Chain A
Amino acid sequence: MTAPTDPTDQTDQFDQTAPDRLIEELRATVQMKDHLLQMVSHEMRTPLVSITNFASTMLRAWDVVPDDDKREYMEIILQQSTRLSRLVNDLLAVARLEAGRLRTVTERVELREVAQETVTEIATGGADISISVADDAAVTADRDHVKQILVNYVTNALKYGRGPIEIASEADGDDVRLWVEDHGDGVSEEFRPHLFEKFSQQEAAHEKVGTGLGLSIVQGLALAQHGSAWYEHADDGARFGVTIPRG
């Protein structure tokens, strides 16, 4: 009695392409990890350079730096600390979303109030941001998550879009559509399918800045509210929004 020699019999029981696919997936995971480490290092380093060097230089030259300048430099230290803090929060949010451990506290959320808080917190230097959210516009959701969505969208509009910027909402059946609109160039058609992916950043004339996590966090938070994140392109700008159940 001889062992089967026809290789076709063995092939039917084993997917020959599985190891290659697994290798490719592992390679993609390693690349993503390397990208994440590089991105985090760069994004953390930039504000840390400002903070440590302003602080050490001011200490060295405290007696010769004018008081007005000292105040300005302290404000920069505070601003860069806030930037660093946001980065850490983004990374934690991504980690929790990935692990399915996002804590959600559901309550009635007054959208106009959240929009106003967002503008107060984010808008500096006379940024032109208006709010067209009805007084009674509300959803059942986690308030901090809704605010984080608006913070991320408004931050992006300020960074990559063009004013005037508007936060607006409208009822849509059992849901509420909430969005941030700007009058910039919007997102290219090729990039739109990747908009809410992790580390996605549209190529621009200059090197990409930021983590590329903001919109993936928005999508994760929107899903956590049983809603969805979306993008709408217009000739004169773009709308980045979420649809959340009224509850």
Chain B
Amino acid sequence: MADAVATPTISVVTVDDAVAMQKLIKLMLELEPDISVIAQAGDGRAAVDLAERHQPDVVLLDIAMPVMDGIEALPLIRDRAPGTRVVMVTGFGTPALREQCAALGAADSIDKGSIAGTIVDAVRRAAAA
């Protein structure tokens, strides 16, 4: 009997201070067989700690958050989890903001307004990079 081939799972840490958004992102990602949300954080500082502890494949990082925002957390995550790809999730992504995030090491940026159509592909693209 051939062994079942396990689908490689992309490990994701999601970071957003809005509980509703956290639940929504988790719901959308965990409907996919190849994605697993392994931890969630509500602010940038907790995100850095979780990224360092879990070394996930991808971090989905909100920008506007209490304690530490996503812009401040991004380079710290890149430093503590060098193999982790960070995808920024913006409320209003301007080109300047996207460029700033890219310069700080973000693999991609997606907009909350179109999140349903973009988040899964963005996670897969980042994991494959």
Contact = CB atoms under 8 A, between A and B. Distances in A.
A53 B24 contact: yes
Contacts, number: 58
Interface in A76-100: 76, 79-80
Contacts of B52: none
B66 A56 contact: no
A96 B116 CA distance: 37
B97 interface: no
Chain A contact residues, majority secondary structure: helix
23 contacts: A46-B18, A46-B91, A49-B21, A50-B21, A53-B24, A53-B115, A54-B20, A54-B27, A57-B24, A57-B27, A60-B31, A61-B31, A64-B31, A72-B23, A73-B23, A76-B20, A80-B20, A205-B66, A206-B17, A206-B65, A206-B67, A207-B64, A209-B64
Given A49-B115, A79-B20, A65 B27 contact: yes
Interface residues of B, number: 20
Interface in B14-72: 17-18, 20-21, 23-24, 27-28, 31, 64-67, 69
Contacts of B113: 45, 49
Given A53-B28, A57-B27, A80-B20, A45 B112 contact: yes
A57 B20 contact: no
B112 A49 contact: yes
Nearest to A41: B92
A69 B24 CA distance: 11
A42 B112 CA distance: 11
